[in-house]
Structure 1
Amino acid sequence: MRATPGGVCSCAGRTAAAAGAGCRGCALRFVAERLRDAGYNSAVCRSKWPRTPEIPSGEHSYVDVVVPTRSGKAVRVVIELGFRGEFEMARGGAEYRALVASLPEVFVGRPEKLRAVIRVMCDAARQCARDNGMHMAPWRKQRYMEAKWPGTPERVAPGGEAVAVASPEKPPSRFRASILTLDFGGRTAVEVV
């Protein structure tokens, strides 16, 4: 955690002790800055998703690092602080709690591995809820959890402005449209008289 000379958290003027060794935002910025200082292309990413009938809206921040490989391709690495806490349930069964305890506190890995862990953990949470006769909360569902770490992150540059960055593992998708979505110079495909 970076503390100013007076031991103050840089985001809200709180002392580090009062903030519990700092806040999550400061911790994310600290990790991204140290990685940049070490020569890595890292940034804090923010994901934000709208409400749908299946999941509530939300937002999440994490660190994204783009690492060049020997072949010249760039590989994305996600760093999630407090990863284990993302899956904790208040009334989870003993098996589920043991599975959560096996997760690392800080996840560092490729997005494919992250999606695989999310799939396993969400399946286990669903089974635990079913076994205990509990309702599966929308924020425990796989679609909600996957929305936290999207394929195309919005990176926050050191100055604070958000910059969308294309995901290195997927080529840009081609534009596709049907004849029904095209605009013919202000005319529609069918004119109603």
Structure 2
Amino acid sequence: MGSLGEEDLEQLVIDYMESPMIASDELEKPSGVLMSLQDVLGAKGEKEKEIEEKIKSFIRRRKLSYKGDDEKKDVMKRIVSKLRSDGYDAFISRTSWDSSFDRLEGCRVFRCTRKYEFIDVMVASDRDGDDVNKLRRVIIDLDFKSQFELVKQTRCYKDVTEMLPTIFVASEVRLKRVVSLVCNEMKKSMKEEGMSRPPWRNKRYMQAKWLSENRLRVSGSKKGSWSLFDDGQGGEDAGTTSRGGIGLKTKCCFPIF
């Protein structure tokens, strides 16, 4: 093959310069669900930002870490103690809800009462007008991201879960929207991977972890002093913070054939 002449080389340069260029941000343009999730995660109220900054600063200063449930519970107690010393109405909440699996319609194989613990803070509403004096919940979960992890997942779902924070501070409304978006993508991911979706992976079940009507205040009472080593027994700690409270016993019901 002969060498390129000056005219041929010049033409190659012109062709390269005039060819359409694809910007890198277009190649990596986020999907609609990622943009929606980013918007919801970023739409923090002033109280949520304030509480999140306090918690992260406290964990960083005290060099707190946790692996198992026991260590996580200890860190939650320390955070509640810190928030209460700063004037917040903070406490550990425990939700409980019925979980069932029906092999056939109308034939319940088992029913178990599940439970989950996180931190609740009651704050004044950010809204103006009639709701200004009403209290609302700010939910703090120290292990939020791991609640949505899957063994097998699509690339799209992995991008979604990587966006989730480990420490999540949110209002009920914002948390519900995040869980709804992630669970919809989880359903698609499991279908594409050929995985059957168990009952504890549906949206209603996942939302019940934080938004169940059966919610107990298990640590941090307005009445009297509160100890770092409070075991949640007695006083207001053992009371329910919402209607329809039930016990935390596990029930397994099997069909009679």
The answer, yes or no, to whether TM exceeds 0.5 is yes
Q: Is the 8 A contact 1:56 1:138 kept in 2?
A: no
Instruction: Please list every run of at least 4 consecutive aligned residues from structure 1 whose deviation after the TM superposition is greater than 3 angstroms.
Output: 53-57
**In the alignment, does 2:239 pair up with 1:163?**
yes
Change over 3 Å in CA distance of 1:87–1:47 after alignment to 2: same
Q: CA RMSD in A?
A: 2.8
Q: Is the 8 A contact 2:145 2:164 kept in 1?
A: yes
Q: Is the 8 A contact 2:97 2:212 kept in 1?
A: no
Bigger mean CA deviation after superposition, 47-56 or 83-92: 47-56
Q: Is the 8 A contact 2:96 2:212 kept in 1?
A: no
Aligned to 1:41: 89
> What's the CA shift string for 1:118-151, capped at 9, x where partnerless?
1111110100011111111222111211111125
Secondary structure of 2:99's match?
coil
Change over 3 Å in CA distance of 1:56–1:88 after alignment to 2: farther
Q: Is the 8 A contact 2:92 2:217 kept in 1?
A: yes
Whole-angstrom distance in 2 between the partners of 1:121 and 1:105: 14
Shift of 1:28: 1.4
Specify which of 192, 198, 216 is matched with residue 154 of structure 1: 216
Shift of 1:57: 3.6
Q: Name the count of aligned residue pairs.
A: 154
Aligned to 2:153: 92
Identify the structure with bigger relative contact order (alpha carbons < 8 Å, sequence gap 6+).
2
Shift of 1:165: 1.7
Read off the aligned partner of 1:164 and give its amino acid letter: T
Read off the aligned partner of 1:157 and give its amino acid letter: S
Whole-angstrom distance in 2 between the partners of 1:165 and 1:131: 40
Where in structure 1 are there 5+ consecutive unaligned residues?
3-15, 167-171, 173-193
Read off the aligned partner of 2:88 and give its amino acid letter: Y
> What's the CA shift string for 1:35-56, capped at 9, x where partnerless?
1111000100001122334685
- Please tell me whether Structure 1 or Structure 2 has the larger radius of gyration of its CA atoms: 2
Whole-angstrom distance in 1 between the partners of 2:77 and 2:207: 22
Percent identical pairs in the alignment equals 27
Read off the aligned partner of 1:89 and give its amino acid letter: L
Where in structure 2 are there 5+ consecutive unaligned residues?
1-57, 60-64, 103-110, 127-131, 221-229, 244-257
Aligned to 1:68: 124
Write the mapping of 1:110-189 to structure 2, written as runs, cut at 5 A.
Answer: 110-152=171-213, 153-158=215-220, 159=230, 160-161=232-233, 162-166=238-242
Q: Is the 8 A contact 1:35 1:41 kept in 2?
A: yes
Whole-angstrom distance in 2 between the partners of 1:40 and 1:52: 37
Secondary structure of 1:164's match?
coil
Whole-angstrom distance in 2 between the partners of 1:44 and 1:61: 7
Q: What TM-score results when the alignment is normalised by the length of structure 2?
A: 0.54
Aligned to 1:58: 114
Read off the aligned partner of 1:101 and give its amino acid letter: E
Read off the aligned partner of 1:68 and give its amino acid letter: A
Shift of 1:33: 1.2
Specify which of 104, 107, 121 is matched with residue 168 of structure 2: 107
